[in-house]
Structure 1
Amino acid sequence: MWNHMMPLSIFKATRQFAAAVPTSSGNYVHFTVQDEAIVAWNDPKITKVEQLENVWAKYIAHTLAPARSAGNVVLVHETINMAKQARLAWFYSPGTRRVRRAPDIAYDNPGTNTDGMATVDSLGGFNGSPDRYDWTFIGKKELYIPYNNYRLGSDKVKYDDYIQPYHINQEYPRYELHRVWVIEANLKPGTRHVYQRRRFYIDEDSWGIVATELYDTRGELWRVQENFPMTAYEVPTCSGIGGTSYDLMGERYLIGGLINEEPPINYFADELNEDRYTPASISKLSGR
């Protein structure tokens, strides 16, 4: 799980992505977000973990659309030893023109721009502190999992081509038979989370979570997730072109991380510097 959360890949990167929660009729309004990160964990100048001062990545997400959300900015400093220092997060709202600490950007609070369809710690499969669960290694098995999803991420495919009611158009994702690590998380006694049990399927090659099963407090399967990996050979890194979270009870789904109609991802954003990742800077970034 730590291999998934702290991957050996890019150092500095910027991208623009879209997300949507279609209605039962297939209508949707998509969110557009510019995000960026400095992953100090992958800084070639870092030779000892002590140099990181317990912060392995700094991340900004700036919402551009729709108008009701435009200008919102999230800043996160992701810590290594979360028992020593929890995730540091801030939120800027153009409505109040204030930056405030945001400790709720964690655990089972609703994820930003998800319409309540995903918890913060389920974005990307899993992120943040693992301390509310007991973790069990189940073993290794073979599954057909999303892999090499170049068509799904192609700029020749439009969002309208595969966003449809109830689930995405299955003509576009691609699957391969792969070995995966199976990890299970069960909620610790005396702790709280909307997911009582979680099962993760981690690709043996990339160490990325490719599928997740999420069970409610009654033990019923509530949501399932898929992530769509794609190799960016020019970097090189195993990247991704989004993921889905299906609410089996509500018959809705979230799809996020879409890049088809957005500018290309910049995996070599050398212009990014640490001064940008401060609470004082994100209000200027918003421009509102």
Structure 2
Amino acid sequence: MSDADDARRRTEVAVRAASAGSEIAADAFRSGIAVETKDGKTDVVTQADRDAQTTVVEVLRERFPEDPIVGEEADALKQVPDTGPAWIVDPIDGTNNYVDGVRVFGTAVAAVVDGEPAAGASVFPALDDAYRVGPDGAFRNDDPLSVSDRTDPETATVCPTFWWDYDERDQYAAATRAIVTRFADMRRFGCAQLELAMVAAGALDGAVTNLVMNPWDSVAGVHMIREAGGTVTDLAGDRWRHDSTGLVASNGEIHDELLAVAREAAAVE
């Protein structure tokens, strides 16, 4: 089997797994589900997160029983293997939105081979949007994706993505200040995979953080942006990987300005 055929097969399975997980999340949405905290006051989890991850894993195991699975919940691996195939799962990205009854949440599944993205899917059931990416390109609801063509930062809209914890709020403040002094406007949705997908779709011109992002919050969306013609680097301006420090994702045209934002945030002591 060629690499492209294998990636197509993984794309199909990623779509099925993400769709199945998102159905579990949608069924429990606004149902008064109990909420627990993990590592901090805003790091929340619900039984729906666990049930959705179980469902996603079951779908993946049907076709790829031996592949490692990296995931946010339960006993899944927390680091992406450097060699061989693996899957990366976020059962509910945007859990804070989810528990507040906000429709901005979804299930993301990515496939990697030797640490490099090969396929992915992100399904946002309350928005009726399903994104997928593979060797044939990136799509939303079967429509091909393309990043925006804005070249003037003063017409661009940028999202400070991921989450700066309470002891990192000076960096968050620096990032937002740098954005609003360089770009036309700023958006934040509280769901990193959707924010990255929106860059791929041209709805946002860029998304940025100076932090190390979790692979389940990032890999599927990064792959979409690249396949849609965008650019994703780390703080040094090098090609982003799942273990990079900083994530700077753009349409490519405003990348240098966005990179400066990440570096300003990182420079705060």
TM-score normalized by structure 2?
0.29
TM-score normalized by structure 1?
0.28
Give the helix-richer structure, 1 or 2: 2
Q: Which has the higher Rg, Structure 1 or Structure 2?
A: 1
Q: Which has the higher contact order (CA 8 A, sep 6+)?
A: 1
Give the strand-richer structure, 1 or 2: 1
